[in-house]
Structure 1
Amino acid sequence: MDSYDKLLEKAKKEGIKQTNIGKKQVNRAISSSKWKLILSTITVVLLIVPICYMLTFGYYAFGTKSTTLMDVASKTLYITEPNTTLEEMEFDMDFSLFSMDLSFEQYKQIGDEFYPAKNYDLHFVLDDLVSKETDSKLEKLYPKNPTDTNQWIAHPSQFLVDFNIYNESKVLSGLPEETVVEAYISLNDLYEVKEVENVMENVHVTWAAIYTGTEDKMLSSNGDLISPIGYPVQPDQSYWSPFRDSPSHAETFLKMMKDLLPFEDLAVKLSPHKSLELEERIQYIENNGFKTYGVVVTGPKNEIESLGKLDMVRFLKVGEVKLWNWVH
């Protein structure tokens, strides 16, 4: 091999060597870039997640959104679920990314004591209620979605009800005398709440269903199915209660309806009702005042049984029953 061929062969070897070195450098650069991208992504994610949690916490806490949602839930249940109350200290909140879980206990008065009635677990994404789970602790099965015929309190013009009046009377008479009873009473006409209280003075009148011009057929002017709404009758000193220190439960009830009006869609999701028709019902009450067509009462079995003999009482349906706790 002459000198030229040797020089050419050497150049080829040097070129291959340089190419291999170049490939290694390129591969090393690519690998380095990948790791830099991965580390940068992880860094950004680690920064974004706490920032999102801070924004979520700020949205609910500092923006008073959590208080608003609790307030809407409280007011909705007080006016749509008879004979129930909530305790402020029972509200549990848990925050996650752009969402909040709200849990609380609902109580029911039977006799002179309050008993757990239902547990609510609500999941909000921002201010939208996306899931509602309830765990009832009651012995009676209440309608999940009340209709025009399965209301536990019926307007005087309603003749079709889903409970047997005779059977209810037999159940009540068969209870031991050493029990206290919750009863849902439908009246034969519209009455002032105070008038009903005066007649039923030996029991606690805990809740009154208020006539809003829609209960004759349980339909709104648009033909939407509605359900009874009303307010607690007795003084309620629970810290979270909207009726705490209220001089007029009727006026507080009307104000609560107005407060719920901007949140009516959420209130419908929270309640067992498919429609509330708040604007129509507010207008009727403002024009016609407050009259009741049915109440929830609780007291000794014998006293509840005697209410069935009153002229104003049309139907009586037995609710929850507990052992004697009456000290009234």
Structure 2
Amino acid sequence: MLYMIATGLLCGALLGFVMQRGRFCLTGGFRDMYLAKDHRMFYALLIAIAVQSIGVYALIQFGVFEFSAGGFSWLATIIGSFIFGIGIVLAGGCATGTWYRAGEGLLGSWIALFGYMFMSAVMKTGFLAPVDQSMKSVQTSSNSIAETTGINVWFWVAIFTAIVLWIVVRELKKPKVAIPALKPKRTGLSHLLFEKRWHPFFTAVLVGLIALLAWPLSAGTGRVFGLGITTPSANILQFSVTGDMQYINWGVFLVLGIFLGSFIAAKGSKEFRFRMPDVKTGISSFIGGNLMGFGASLAGGCSIGNGLVMTAMMTWQGWISLLFIILGTWTASYFVFVRPRTKKKTVVSDTAVTA
């Protein structure tokens, strides 16, 4: 138990600290791909996937642990991922982003987090569990891309890594936009940790390494998986209600660690403060959190569990889930950001013509 608590909190705290300081927000990244044609955060995600994929399959190769991708519940993954993508726009952050934003004192994220935990628990052990199980029963026998194609997994890892390296080199060669440098108020390690602006690609490498670290640490407790947010979040609420120790596992301490690490980073960089949302934002956060919980549970993972971990394991579930999370994010972004702006312009134009 002590090992579980210590390693779970440590891994989570590292992830929360890095994501908060590096502003590693996948919701904003997916949204910006559509609204601003800015792909940097998406490219950063690809870097984290590549780092983790190489490391995890090296550990598997050396016999540290075994991994089986299992079957692929394609219907549940597609529908759940699309709904999750809509939810993260309404909630203002994905599953992990909601945890680390809550650590910054953003009360809207607390509201979204409660909705996320509640609906995840309802889907796993509540009255919607039969719906979840029924949809997941529609599946193919193999989830592994390597098994389906009959091509060694290292081929896919190598091809993917080569593509990511090409993207990184191309991006780093682009002319840099000059940003006025503020005079540092700190020096040495304190400046690097709490003040200096982190490059998204540097943050991505750290996230990938932490995602890699999660595998052997988690496997040491009998949980052979990497980072995971949805089930542990549901487990916290389930334990709080029932007191059943079966819900306490390594993942629970991981997500609590994310909150702790983000809090430390926010306090150290003087970014922590309690911020109360207005009523409209609060309602949107709660609805978004519930959609996140429903979608992530149905899809078998969130933007981290599927979008970062299962993609690194070269599974159909991971890559198809990532695609539909992005499509869901773009759909919600259109109705939340683009359409209201277009209608407003139309009203202004009509008023001008009438005048």
For the criterion TM > 0.5, the same-fold answer is: no
Structure having the higher Rg: 1
Normalization by structure 1: what TM-score? 0.28
Greater share of strand: 1
Normalization by structure 2: what TM-score? 0.27
Q: Which has the higher contact order (CA 8 A, sep 6+)?
A: 2
Greater share of helix: 2
